[in-house]
Every structure is written in C-alpha cells, then in structure tokens.
Structure 1
C-alpha cells in the first residue's frame, strides 16, 4: 500500500471517523474545520450496532461511554403498544452493542484519538482544484494545502459538494425536531430502553443516555417561515400523551430546547472527482426518523478506509473512490428512503419499524466486509439492499 496524503474537510463525526481509520492504515491525514473549535452542540446520538462495529474497526471504541440500549418500545399516542424489539440479535450478529451517547462525548472521544497536529480550526474551504497528480484546497485565510486525495465531510451544507458536484442544498422534508439532552429523574433515564410514541401528526421519543441524562425529541410538520415553538407550545400539543411525556415537558425549559429541521439530499451516482469524494451528510443527508444518519456515515468512513487500503503504489485513487461510492450508494439510498417515508407518515410506518433492528443486523456492510467484500477483492460490487 502506498501512503497517501489526505485532506479531510470537516471535523464532525464523519471527518473524525475517517481520519482515525486512515491514520491507523498509515496514511498522512489532516482535518480542516471552519469553526474555531470542535462543534459540540446537539443532543444525543444513537450509535446502532452497525455504527459501533464500524467505529471499532476505525480504531474508536465507545462501548464504555454513554448508555447501552437493550430494547426499543413503540406505542401510539393513546398508549396502545405497537411493538417491542430486543436488540440482542443485532448485538450478537455484529459483535457490538447499540450505544446512546451525547454528541459532545462522541466528538471528544474521536478527537482525542488523533495525534497532535492533525486538526486545524478556523479553516473555511473556499476552492478545490484537481490536477493530474494532486488536489489543491484554498482557505479563506489565504492559506492552501495540496494532497493526493480530498474527502468532503463537511455536512449537509457541504462546500466541497457544491464545488465538486452541484450547488443545490439538501431540501427540507416538511418536518422538524424540537429536542434536548437534560438531566432527568424519570425512570426511563435510568433504564436501557428507547421509547417511541407516534400520533397522527406528531411523534416523540425518549432515550437514556447515561449518567442520568435523557435525550428527548418531538417531531412535527414544519415549513420555513413557521413560528418557533416553545416548551409551553409543546406542553399544549402533547397534553394527554402517555407518560412520561407530560412529566418530561414539565421538567424542561426553553433553554433546553434545540431546533432541528429535517432535510434530505439527492444521492448522486458519482460523489467526487478523480482525487476527491464525499461521505456522510455531505452526500446523503437524511431525516433522523430511523436514527441512521451517523451510523451510515461511520459505514462510509469504514468502507472508504478499506477501499483505499488496496491502492497500488504510485497509482491515482480514482478507481478505489468510485468503487467505494458504488458499494455505498444503494445502501444509503435504501436507508434514506426509509427515513424519509417514516418522517413524513408517522403512525403507519412506525408499526413496521419493529423489524428495523433485524434489518440492520442482516444488511450492515460491516457484516459483508468481515466476510470478504467483493469490492475489496476487485470484483463487481455486491447487490443492492433488498
């Protein structure tokens, strides 16, 4: 394997994950972030077994951080049980648990694993130029950098995507989340079970996140220009919903409330140029309805790391980049469609999501690659998800 110099744009979960994987593979990696420091905002992240398994392969272990989840429970807004799902099958198959973790703790864990000098802050990418033998990046502060390969991991508003592919941003789906991560004395916060509650035009969820923290969210239709909701509005809208919804809303304030519009990207056939590609929300931003956005990002990072491991010395990475994209595209499109459908029509599809843990267990690319991926053997990519 030839050691390549790689530039990663974006120090979110995707950029940090792929940087860890590529460094462990012996590559020379630098990560450039437009913010002045690590962005630790946000609530919690559900890292399913496919995500924790991918992270372990990338050299990041979060199984001792956050809260391990053992089951999922779904009910209607009248309190009728829809299903309960045991996560033991997916944990056993992938050899890794489902973990709920504060986003800030996940970011810190991945950043701490990087050597000094890898992360650069205050570096806003303004131009990408591909040459026959290298790629160049220019930054707003007047500096620049050259490398063998560029990875755009700069989120749903990706500057790299807009320069390499198209300037069209991710489109709103018509839904949004009002969410938070707070200390809670409610019994659910001390447990190991996710609770999902679905109504005709609204949805809410509660996930224990460890150390007494509870991640909660309320999803409703939303369009640009709608007035912002307060906790008082949520108390009115969700009055009469099954416990512990009202008890939770009685315990939080507007200062705890975060707003997260749902968006979705068109997933292109090709994700970059001869010496560039994208991963995560930069290429396939999706609604959070099935909690897979971060997990698919981790699978991206792991697949890309593996594909680049077989680039012959002195060769351009183009073939490996296109193989990575062709392998990942049908899978992320499948998950994205499921997330969009579930986000837009809450009650009916939630009944079907009881099968989702099993789907993850059988369809994760972590499983297929452990068995020996076709793409890594130089054969045709494996079939798309059924």
Structure 2
C-alpha cells in the first residue's frame, strides 16, 4: 500500500473532496480561492457526460458570481417567462419573470448541466486566484477516516489531508461514516429527462408557439403528473423533465442505480402522458430514444448531523432533493460557499472540527426546510403559496448568511468583550479592549498626556446644586468649595491608531458619597466632561457611565504659556489661560486631579428609557466610583514635566440657545460659577494613561 502525505510547508490546508459533481467542484473553486490546496477524487472518467439542464436560481447564481463564475459563458439562458397550464392545456398562471427580476439581485438562469459541469471543472483547475485544484478521475474512494481526514482509493492508495468533504451524491459512501441507518428511499415518483433542439419545435406548426418565446419556462401540472420544458444552451436546446408516479414506469428499472443514466423506451414516455394536451404530446414524440433517460426520484430522512471529526457532507450526500423549486443544485452550491466562509485561508488544522460544526449550523435548517418545501410542491398549490416558497429560497445570499453565523460564533468565544450601540456590527473595540476582547492596558503605558488644570475657590452652595442626589455632600463645613477646570490632551493611543483626543471637565473637590450601608467614599465629583471625539464619548458614556458631551477644544501651547478655547460649531463658549509657567520638580506632583487626599473620581450614570410615555424615567441610574489606587495598578502614570503659575484665568460665556442649542443648559450653569480665587494652576506632562477600567458601580 502506498501512502501519500504532505511534503514540506505550504499555505492553507490540504482539503480532500470526494466527488466532482456540482457541489464538489464549487467547493473546490471556493476553497482554492480562500487559499487552500484542494484535491478532488471522482470515481468516473467523465466519459459521455450528457446530463440535462438545471436552474441556477438567483440565490445560486449570486454566490457563483462572487466566485467569478458567469454561467452565461457556458450557454446559460435567462428565465424570462413562467407559464402554467392544466394537462389539458388550460391556462392557470402566467408570470413575466423578466418584469419581477428587479426584486432579485441576480438573474435566474437555465443552463445545460453538462456545459455547466465542464465550466466548473475548468474553473477549478485553471490558473487564477489560489492554487489550482487537482482533479483525480477514475479514482474510486472505498474508505475514509473522519478523524484523520484520510481517503483510501480502490487501488490501495491512502491520501491524508486536513479536511475531508463528502460530495459523492445521493448514494454517498462518505455518508455511511456518519449514519449507517439513514439511506435514500423512493419518493414514489420517477422522471423522464431528455433534450431536443429548439429548432425542432419551431419547425413544427403544432409546437412552434411553445418554443417561440426566449427564456420561457412552461409547465403542465396535475396532482400526479407534470411536464416541465425550458431552454438552455443559448436557447438552442429545450430541456424536458416529466414527473410521474413510479408505478407508471415499466418494471426492470433499478431505483438504486445511476440516477441519470437509466435507459427507457419512448413508448413508455408517451403512454404515461397520453391524456395530456395534444401539443405537449407532439413535443414528447420528438424525444430521441437514444438520449431519453429515466430518473428515479429519491428522498431521504434528515440526517441528525452532517459532520464527524474532519468530515463534512454537502449536496445530495447530506440532503437529496426532489426536482422542485430549482433547489438541488442550488443547495449544493450554497453548501460549498458556506464551507469556504467557515474555512478561511488562515485557519489552523486544530480549528477544523469546530468550524465544520458551524457550517452545519449555518446550513442544516435552511436545507431541511427547503427539502420539505420540495416535498410539499408535489401537490398543487396556489400561486401565493408557491411564491412564498420562491421568496424564501431565492431571497438569500449564503456568503452573507454564513459570514454572520461565523461572526456570532467568534463573538461568543469572547464573552468579556464590550458591546455598545450599534450592537448589530458586533463587539466594539475601544480604549479598554481590542476587537478580540484582549486587554489594552500594557499598550497604554506608552500613551502620552498633557494636563492643564486651574483650581479655584468658589461657592459651595452653587456647586452643591450640581450634585445628583443628597447622598453626595461636601466633606468640610463652610460656604467655600474648591473646584478645578482641567483639560487633557492625549496622544499615542493605540486604540485610536496612535492618535489622540482632548477633554476638559469640571471637577469638584472634597466630596463624599454615603452608601446605603453607611460606608463613605471620598473623592472628586465630576458633573461634566467635554471631549472633542465621538469614540471616547460613546465608550465613556456606555461602558463607564461618564457624563460626557461634545465640544471642540483648541489648545495653543508655548514654552511658558498654555491657552485653551472651547466651542461648538464656531460658537466660542470658554477661554482658559495659564501664563508665565515655571518648571518645577515633577516628583512633587501626585498626578491626580484631587491631589494626595483624593481617593478617586465620583460620577453619576443616567440612561433614559425609550418611548414618549416614559419621559423622565430612567433605564439605568446609579453612582459610579473610579478609585485612583486601582487605576494606578492597571496603568501607572509617570509625570515627566511639571509647570506652575500664579497667573491663570477662566472665562465662560453661556451664550444662548441659538448659539449653543445642545450645550446651553450646561454651559450657562458653568458660567454662573464664581471664580473667587485661583489656588493653583499647572501643566503636567507624562506617559501612561489609565483606561478607567477600574470604574465600578457603587450601589
């Protein structure tokens, strides 16, 4: 026995596909384009491949186009007209597919199966994106190992890969490795299949009216028998599929044989449809006895799983379809592209079993639902009911669907990631985590800050009016309070691509919060923080409960001066100036806004309820505390420069509602704060920016 294995290192996985039908070939194309090395093992030599025509419904055609496959190049015809009749020829329903095509992103095509198959074979093996697939014909697979992704050929060769795909049709050998008990069985229906030239129908005055409209799909339907005719091969051929009870078929037919190559006499065809419209019978008489085939229609119970270890089934191996709603080939194509989504080029070998289970999760419900729809389609239905099925089947893009299933799986693997509005796009990277949920703290040690603060004496009574509840109070008695306006410029923030932003806030010192259990927290209370970038505003409000609003913040810094200006849409509302700055020893500064006695920052979270009848009601409302001690352990800050001055100035102009339509209610209150005396004014620069991840809910 010869054993073949990987030789050397190569990008992507080695994927072995059993079966080179439509599903196997599309999977090969999609997976090679994803960056994998693909080999296909096909038992036949593809000699005398005749087949018939198939529908490429918009859902199938759409994903093929994403793979760069245009079936029109293989002679596909666009479906333009659907006509339904009784067997006697009475009109039931006529619909212009061309006029309704605008609801689908891609065209509904009709293609010769053999031509389509040849085109897929060429695309799988041709130069282009990814490494061309290797197709082994006359290579019957007699055994597979689902856990090692190994195939054993009839000649004794053993080939090992990383992924094994079973695309070996309704009589699948690979399926037996997943379930030995579930096997295909007769649906109770058989179908005749054959092709004639369209010109034959046009040359006969009795049948010309059927063939004269390009892209027309014609159907004569009863509860038991159905004749469907549609063009293919650039409108040069007409494809026939004639469904009937299997009891109408002469004995001697083997339902378990080759589904497409069971010879049948023309007399049997004409006998089954002897009571149909004369025009239809005249067309059936044109069938070539040499190409007329009988197709036993098989069904199968749903498999409990399509996956075992490194093996996944697709197409008819997983879910054979009855030939209704143009779904057999389409579902195999959707399976194939779903596998390519789940197995991107950078996936590791160890991830394969899990990803195959996600593939099954993405595909199982849809495939089995459509299977049932095809069974229901054996019965006559109203146009409305039939259209509902069509809308479900055709209105789908498996690339997009599977990508979302995979995204949700990846999101679920990181339960600690942050979610913020809008949640439909997934977890939100921000200042505390990257998009994988990994802690950013270590990178934040290299971020830089420059903080200019002006501390002043002011009215305790006025500031007390900014407390959100009576649980907040000043620690010391008297009518004098201390507060600061503090502005920080941040840079080197990895979560902003190395950029930064600015913020400025009011900080009220010497405040305490008394908890319901009597415990007291002491710190600096921050009623408002303005920032000049939406991203930190959103993350701070949603993740931390911070009272943030937007304002433009301009800074003019020179060697001995630091000036700030705040505005909204050109309306300037604040001027802050520090002049005659003098350098001091940076070691004397604690690096916190409240100094040595400050234990942390107190803020108050409030999120309103949605709805006009809930105005004034809170969805969330509670106090927040950010302890300095905990923050310093996450990212320690180092002060590298300290400048001080006794010459500082604060000017705040409330303006009016017209100038500050969204900020006037805040800025006007800030403008009321009296500056009795400047206590301290300084500019502090350094590295290491805490991410406020220590913020916690107090009650």
Which of residues 139, 148, 151 in structure 2 aligns to 1:123? 139
C-alpha distance 361-348 of structure 1, shift in aligned 2 (>3 A): closer
Write out per-residue CA displacement over residues 104-149 of structure 1, whole angstroms, 9 at most, x where no aligned residue: 1011000011236610011111111244xx3211111111100000
> Structure 2 CA distance, aligned partners of 1:314 and 1:283?
23
> Structure 1 CA distance, aligned partners of 2:284 and 2:390?
29
State yes or no: 1:20 paired with 2:53.
no
Give how far 1:266 is off. Answer: 2.0
2:685 counterpart residue number: none
State yes or no: 1:174 paired with 2:207.
no
> Structure 1 CA distance, aligned partners of 2:376 and 2:384?
13
TM-score (ref. length: structure 2):
0.50
> Structure 1 CA distance, aligned partners of 2:236 and 2:367?
33
Map 1:98-117 to 2 at 5 A. 98-115=108-125
Map 1:319-358 to 2 at 5 A. 319-343=354-378, 345=379, 347-348=380-381, 352-358=385-391
> Structure 2 CA distance, aligned partners of 1:100 and 1:243?
26
Q: Higher helix fraction: Structure 1 or Structure 2?
A: 1
C-alpha distance 168-360 of structure 1, shift in aligned 2 (>3 A): closer
Write out per-residue CA displacement over residues 187-230 of structure 1, whole angstroms, 9 at most, x where no aligned residue: 44452110111123211110011342000121111059843663
State yes or no: 1:158 paired with 2:172.
yes
Q: Higher strand fraction: Structure 1 or Structure 2?
A: 2
TM-score (ref. length: structure 1):
0.88
C-alpha distance 350-161 of structure 1, shift in aligned 2 (>3 A): farther
Asked whether the equivalents of residues 89 and 358 of structure 1 are also in contact (C-alpha less than 8 Å), the reply is no
Give how far 1:273 is off. Answer: 1.4
Asked whether the equivalents of residues 217 and 229 of structure 2 are also in contact (C-alpha less than 8 Å), the reply is yes
Asked whether the equivalents of residues 24 and 59 of structure 1 are also in contact (C-alpha less than 8 Å), the reply is no
Describe the SS at the equivalent of 1:122: coil
> Structure 2 CA distance, aligned partners of 1:24 and 1:93?
29
1:249 counterpart residue number: 284
Give how far 1:38 is off. Answer: 6.1
Q: CA RMSD in A?
A: 2.6
> Structure 2 CA distance, aligned partners of 1:181 and 1:319?
44
1:383 counterpart residue number: none
1:360 counterpart residue number: 393
2:72 counterpart residue number: 63
> Structure 1 CA distance, aligned partners of 2:156 and 2:362?
37
Map 1:1-386 to 2 at 5 A. 3-37=12-46, 40-64=49-73, 65-88=75-98, 91-115=101-125, 118-131=134-147, 134-166=148-180, 168-185=182-199, 186=201, 187=208, 188-189=210-211, 191-209=214-232, 210-222=234-246, 226-227=250-251, 230-242=265-277, 244-309=279-344, 312-343=347-378, 345=379, 347-348=380-381, 352-366=385-399, 368=401, 373-378=404-409
C-alpha distance 135-34 of structure 1, shift in aligned 2 (>3 A): same
C-alpha distance 375-269 of structure 1, shift in aligned 2 (>3 A): farther
Give how far 1:352 is off. Answer: 3.4
> Structure 1 CA distance, aligned partners of 2:316 and 2:99?
28
Give how far 1:314 is off. Answer: 4.9
Give how far 1:74 is off. Answer: 1.4
Structure 1 gaps, min length 5: 381-386
Give how far 1:62 is off. Answer: 0.8
Report the number of matched residues: 374
> Structure 2 CA distance, aligned partners of 1:327 and 1:24?
21
Asked whether the equivalents of residues 176 and 261 of structure 1 are also in contact (C-alpha less than 8 Å), the reply is yes
Describe the SS at the equivalent of 1:317: helix
Q: Which has the larger radius of gyration?
A: 2
Write out per-residue CA displacement over residues 62-95 of structure 1, whole angstroms, 9 at most, x where no aligned residue: 1332211123221211323222334357744442
Asked whether the equivalents of residues 165 and 271 of structure 1 are also in contact (C-alpha less than 8 Å), the reply is no
Asked whether the equivalents of residues 12 and 347 of structure 2 are also in contact (C-alpha less than 8 Å), the reply is no
Describe the SS at the equivalent of 2:160: strand
C-alpha distance 234-71 of structure 1, shift in aligned 2 (>3 A): same
Describe the SS at the equivalent of 1:316: helix
Structure 2 gaps, min length 5: 1-10, 126-131, 202-207, 254-263, 413-699
